[in-house]
Protein backbone atom coordinates (compact mmCIF):
# COMPACT_ATOMS: atom_id res chain seq x y z
CA UNK A 1 0.00 0.00 0.00
CA UNK A 2 1.13 3.50 -0.72
CA UNK A 3 0.89 6.29 1.81
CA UNK A 4 -0.22 9.64 0.45
CA UNK A 5 1.12 12.65 2.34
CA UNK A 6 0.19 16.25 1.92
CA UNK A 7 3.22 18.46 1.64
CA UNK A 8 3.07 21.85 3.37
CA UNK A 9 3.23 25.00 1.31
CA UNK A 10 6.61 26.74 1.28
CA UNK A 11 5.15 29.66 3.23
CA UNK A 12 4.09 27.28 6.04
CA UNK A 13 7.39 25.43 6.33
CA UNK A 14 9.11 25.89 9.65
CA UNK A 15 6.42 28.07 11.16
CA UNK A 16 3.92 25.78 12.88
CA UNK A 17 3.57 22.11 13.54
CA UNK A 18 0.24 20.32 13.45
CA UNK A 19 0.22 20.20 17.23
CA UNK A 20 0.60 24.00 17.43
CA UNK A 21 -2.40 24.43 15.16
CA UNK A 22 -4.44 22.10 17.37
CA UNK A 23 -3.51 24.14 20.44
CA UNK A 24 -4.60 27.38 18.81
CA UNK A 25 -7.83 25.81 17.55
CA UNK A 26 -8.82 24.31 20.91
CA UNK A 27 -9.81 27.62 22.60
CA UNK A 28 -11.86 28.53 19.54
CA UNK A 29 -13.75 25.24 19.69
CA UNK A 30 -14.28 25.61 23.44
CA UNK A 31 -15.68 29.10 22.93
CA UNK A 32 -18.02 27.86 20.21
CA UNK A 33 -19.23 25.05 22.50
CA UNK A 34 -19.92 27.51 25.31
CA UNK A 35 -21.83 29.77 22.91
CA UNK A 36 -23.95 26.91 21.55
CA UNK A 37 -24.70 25.69 25.08
CA UNK A 38 -25.62 29.19 26.27
CA UNK A 39 -27.91 29.73 23.28
CA UNK A 40 -29.58 26.37 23.98
CA UNK A 41 -30.17 27.27 27.62
CA UNK A 42 -31.54 30.70 26.75
CA UNK A 43 -33.83 29.29 24.05
CA UNK A 44 -35.22 26.76 26.53
CA UNK A 45 -35.61 29.27 29.36
CA UNK A 46 -37.45 31.90 27.31
CA UNK A 47 -39.49 29.20 25.52
CA UNK A 48 -38.71 30.57 22.07
CA UNK A 49 -40.02 28.46 19.22
CA UNK A 50 -36.99 27.74 17.04
CA UNK A 51 -35.75 24.70 15.14
CA UNK A 52 -32.40 25.07 16.95
CA UNK A 53 -33.95 24.94 20.41
CA UNK A 54 -34.03 21.15 20.73
CA UNK A 55 -30.48 20.32 19.56
CA UNK A 56 -28.87 23.28 21.33
CA UNK A 57 -30.71 22.54 24.58
CA UNK A 58 -29.70 18.89 24.39
CA UNK A 59 -26.12 19.99 23.82
CA UNK A 60 -26.33 22.22 26.89
CA UNK A 61 -27.83 19.43 29.00
CA UNK A 62 -24.89 17.16 28.14
CA UNK A 63 -22.06 19.69 27.89
CA UNK A 64 -22.62 21.77 31.03
CA UNK A 65 -22.52 18.93 33.59
CA UNK A 66 -19.97 17.06 31.48
CA UNK A 67 -17.57 20.01 31.52
CA UNK A 68 -18.05 20.54 35.25
CA UNK A 69 -17.46 16.88 36.06
CA UNK A 70 -14.51 16.76 33.66
CA UNK A 71 -12.94 19.74 35.42
CA UNK A 72 -13.32 17.96 38.75
CA UNK A 73 -11.62 14.83 37.40
CA UNK A 74 -8.40 16.36 36.09
CA UNK A 75 -6.29 13.62 37.64
CA UNK A 76 -7.71 10.98 35.28
CA UNK A 77 -6.26 10.23 31.88
CA UNK A 78 -8.03 11.98 28.97
CA UNK A 79 -10.14 9.05 27.72
CA UNK A 80 -11.13 8.04 31.23
CA UNK A 81 -12.09 11.62 32.03
CA UNK A 82 -14.19 11.87 28.86
CA UNK A 83 -16.04 8.62 29.60
CA UNK A 84 -16.59 9.56 33.25
CA UNK A 85 -17.78 13.10 32.45
CA UNK A 86 -20.22 12.01 29.74
CA UNK A 87 -21.56 9.24 32.00
CA UNK A 88 -21.86 11.67 34.88
CA UNK A 89 -23.66 14.20 32.70
CA UNK A 90 -26.21 11.63 31.58
CA UNK A 91 -26.66 10.41 35.16
CA UNK A 92 -27.14 13.96 36.45
CA UNK A 93 -29.72 14.72 33.76
CA UNK A 94 -31.61 11.51 34.54
CA UNK A 95 -31.53 12.16 38.28
CA UNK A 96 -32.86 15.69 37.81
CA UNK A 97 -35.64 14.45 35.53
CA UNK A 98 -36.56 11.60 37.90
CA UNK A 99 -36.56 13.88 40.93
CA UNK A 100 -38.71 16.50 39.24
CA UNK A 101 -41.15 13.86 37.99
CA UNK A 102 -41.38 12.29 41.45
CA UNK A 103 -42.16 15.69 42.97
CA UNK A 104 -44.67 16.50 40.18
CA UNK A 105 -42.84 19.70 39.25
CA UNK A 106 -41.48 18.71 35.84
CA UNK A 107 -40.97 21.45 33.26
CA UNK A 108 -38.39 22.02 30.58
CA UNK A 109 -37.46 25.41 31.99
CA UNK A 110 -37.12 24.00 35.49
CA UNK A 111 -35.01 21.08 34.29
CA UNK A 112 -32.62 23.34 32.41
CA UNK A 113 -32.38 25.68 35.39
CA UNK A 114 -31.68 22.85 37.85
CA UNK A 115 -29.04 21.28 35.57
CA UNK A 116 -27.40 24.70 35.15
CA UNK A 117 -27.42 25.28 38.91
CA UNK A 118 -25.98 21.85 39.72
CA UNK A 119 -23.32 22.18 37.02
CA UNK A 120 -22.36 25.60 38.35
CA UNK A 121 -22.20 24.21 41.88
CA UNK A 122 -19.92 21.35 40.82
CA UNK A 123 -17.65 23.76 38.96
CA UNK A 124 -17.62 26.20 41.89
CA UNK A 125 -16.70 23.45 44.36
CA UNK A 126 -13.88 22.36 42.04
CA UNK A 127 -12.49 25.89 41.85
CA UNK A 128 -12.73 26.36 45.62
CA UNK A 129 -10.94 23.05 46.19
CA UNK A 130 -8.10 24.07 43.86
CA UNK A 131 -7.75 27.46 45.53
CA UNK A 132 -7.57 25.80 48.95
CA UNK A 133 -4.83 23.48 47.73
CA UNK A 134 -2.82 26.42 46.39
CA UNK A 135 -3.23 28.30 49.64
CA UNK A 136 -2.21 25.21 51.64
CA UNK A 137 0.90 24.80 49.48
CA UNK A 138 1.91 28.40 50.07
CA UNK A 139 1.60 28.01 53.84
CA UNK A 140 3.58 24.75 53.94
CA UNK A 141 6.42 25.83 51.66
Looking at residue 133, what is its pLDDT?
A: 85
Confidence of residue 84 (pLDDT cuts 50, 70, 90): very high
Residue 1 has a pLDDT of 60
- pLDDT of 8 strictly over 70: no
93-136 pLDDT, tens digit per residue, is: 999 999 999 999 999 999 999 999 999 999 999 999 989 888 87
Q: Is residue 100 classed exposed, middle or buried when 0-12, 13-18 and 19+ CB atoms within 10 A define those classes?
A: middle
Instruction: Give residue limits of the domains in the chain.
Output: 18-140
pLDDT-based confidence at 140, cuts 50/70/90?
confident
Q: How confident is the model at residue 137 (pLDDT cuts 50, 70, 90)?
A: confident
**Predicted confidence (pLDDT) at residue 63 exceeds the cutoff of 70:** yes
Q: Would you call 1 exposed, middle or buried from its count of C-beta atoms within 10 A (0-12, 13-18, 19+)? A: exposed
The CA distance from 90 to 93, in Å, is 5
Q: How far apart are CA 74 and CA 31, in angstroms?
A: 20
Give pTM, 2 decimals. 0.77
Amino acid sequence: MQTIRIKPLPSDMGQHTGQDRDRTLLPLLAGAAVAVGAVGAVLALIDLSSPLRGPFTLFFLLAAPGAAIGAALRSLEPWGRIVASVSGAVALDLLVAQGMLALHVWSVRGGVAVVAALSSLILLLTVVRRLRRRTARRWTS
